[in-house]
Amino acid sequence: MKIISIANQKGGCGKTTTAINLASTLSFNGQKTLLIDLDPQAHATLGLNVEDQNSLYNCISKLTPHKLKIKDIIKPVGKSFDIVPSNVLVGTLEQELADEIGRELKLVEIIDEIKGLYDYILIDCPPSLGFLTVNSIRASDELIIPVETSRFSMQGVDHLMDITNLIRERLGHPVKPKVLITMFDSRLRHSFTMLNKMKEKFSGMLFDTIVHVNVKLKEAAVMGEAVIRYDKYCRGSKDYLSLAREILTADRQPIVPEVKVTSMPTVAAVLEALQEPKEVQASAPASYQPSERMQELIQKETQELLKATTFSLAAPEAKSVYVTGSFNDWSLDENCRMAGQDGLWTLKVSLKPGTYKYQFIVDGKWQEDPANANMERNSFGDINSLIEVKA
């Protein structure tokens, strides 16, 4: 069993969104997962449409008239996914246990009751550095710090690192901190500037996965669902599936194959199926010919097949070059990293016929294609290059 705290005292950095959706995607990969909502604001509880008057307050407090075990308050959310709800009373534990000996071990004692029942326990911490957050980090094996691309979030990481070091030195409990970049807007140059600074400052601590800005994440929260259940093909689902797989790979746990859209076979699939090895084709009737209707469908499908399109940029001094645009929803990942040779950077992308906007990102700086005269000004005051892929 692995316990992971998700914390950052700065609000609005995607902490609860990460807690909900990481727990959901871990369970999607077959891991029995428990999400503990330790935030008195109960955003994770509300974000999953869970209603309960009980919380960890009933398990930890000595003043409550309704004492419970943690097993009594666990609520099912989905297959292999449970939650321990929260409420405003959890916030009173800060004062109630302020002078009690061993107060930093209260959550450890509670979690010991359910050891072995889950593969992963995630804890959504409050946006503060008080007793509850210290309890969570002390009970955890790993700490995930969600950070948006802003200076204030970076300062929050420093404060959490101080607490992590204090827990290691005074309580003898090492916790592995990891930084997750969230709410990344690949349309803004500022995002890439901050990304480069974070890579320098938190070298060796960053997840490879970057969670991009995606409206589906907000819509899913409004509907009281994890994004993978709300829209499993959106960018938010893909980002959190990637994060879950990165964690599972590090822990060497089995991973569910990537979800793919299933539909009726396309004509291209039929063609591929017809192109069998020679020994198989030899057994088929030599006189077989597709029907006229099939030939029409094949011709139509062929016209809509993806076209290999090569992007190129001469940049001898560049260390890294990406190409991104409307063809990939302006995302930034390894799929849009260009390969450089003798100062010429190239990338081949399969595109459907149509017109696309694009820009190059050279060492974190956006620029249009200097070799392409076809361009337009965008809403950010920059220049987008335009490319037309013909059928």
- Is 72:158 a contact under the CB 8 Å cutoff? no
Q: In terms of Cα–Cα distance, which of 313, 322, 303 is closest to 364?
A: 322
Tell me the C-alpha to C-alpha distance, in Å, between residue 162 and each of 156, 314, 380.
10, 45, 39
pLDDT of residue 333: 74
Question: What is the rounded CA–CA span in Å between residue 307 and residue 324?
Answer: 17
CATH number of the domain residue 382 falls in: 2.60.40.10
pLDDT of residue 282: 41
Question: What is the rounded CA–CA span in Å between residue 215 and residue 237?
Answer: 11
Question: What is the rounded CA–CA span in Å between residue 57 and residue 66?
Answer: 10
Residues 50 and 164 in one domain: yes
Residues 200 and 282 in one domain: no
Q: In terms of Cα–Cα distance, which of 205, 225, 207 is closest to 217?
A: 225
Q: Are strands 383-389 and 354-362 parallel, antiparallel or unpaired?
A: antiparallel
Q: At residue 384, what are phi and psi to the nearest 5 degrees?
A: -100, 135
Q: Give the list of residues 6+ apart from residue 209 with CB closer than 8 angstroms, or none.
A: 180, 239, 242, 243, 246
Tell me the C-alpha to C-alpha distance, in Å, between residue 202 and each of 6, 140, 194, 351.
17, 21, 12, 36
Instruction: Name the token pair of 130.
Output: 């008080």
Residues 132 and 198 in one domain: yes
Residues 9 and 46 in one domain: yes
Residues 281 and 312 in one domain: no
Residues 221 and 166 in one domain: yes
pLDDT of residue 287: 46
Residues 101 and 191 in one domain: yes
CATH number of the domain residue 25 falls in: 3.40.50.300
Question: What is the rounded CA–CA span in Å between residue 244 and residue 143?
Answer: 14
Residues 140 and 203 in one domain: yes
Q: Is residue 66 part of a domain?
A: yes
Residues 79 and 211 in one domain: yes
The single residue listed with the structure tokens 């709800």 is: 85
- pLDDT mean by block of 10 residues, the chain; 391 residues: 89 89 94 94 91 88 88 91 93 82 84 91 88 89 89 74 85 88 86 86 88 90 90 90 91 64 44 45 46 62 71 92 86 84 91 89 86 82 86 73
Instruction: Name the token pair of 294.
Output: 């099939």
Q: Is residue 58 part of a domain?
A: yes
Residues 235 and 176 in one domain: yes
pLDDT of residue 99: 74
The neighbouring-strand residues paired with 143 are 5, 177
Q: Give the list of residues 6+ apart from residue 179 with CB closer than 8 angstroms, or none.
A: 144, 145, 147, 157, 198, 202, 205, 206, 207
Q: In terms of Cα–Cα distance, which of 222, 199, 55 is closest to 124?
A: 55
Residues 103 and 232 in one domain: yes
CA 56 to chain centre: 27
Provide the domain count of the chain.
3
Residues 106 and 158 in one domain: yes
What residue type is assigned to position 152 of the chain? F
Q: Is residue 261 part of a domain?
A: no
Q: Is residue 259 part of a domain?
A: no
pLDDT of residue 390: 85
pLDDT of residue 18: 95
Determine the structural domain holding residue 343 and report its residue range: 307-389
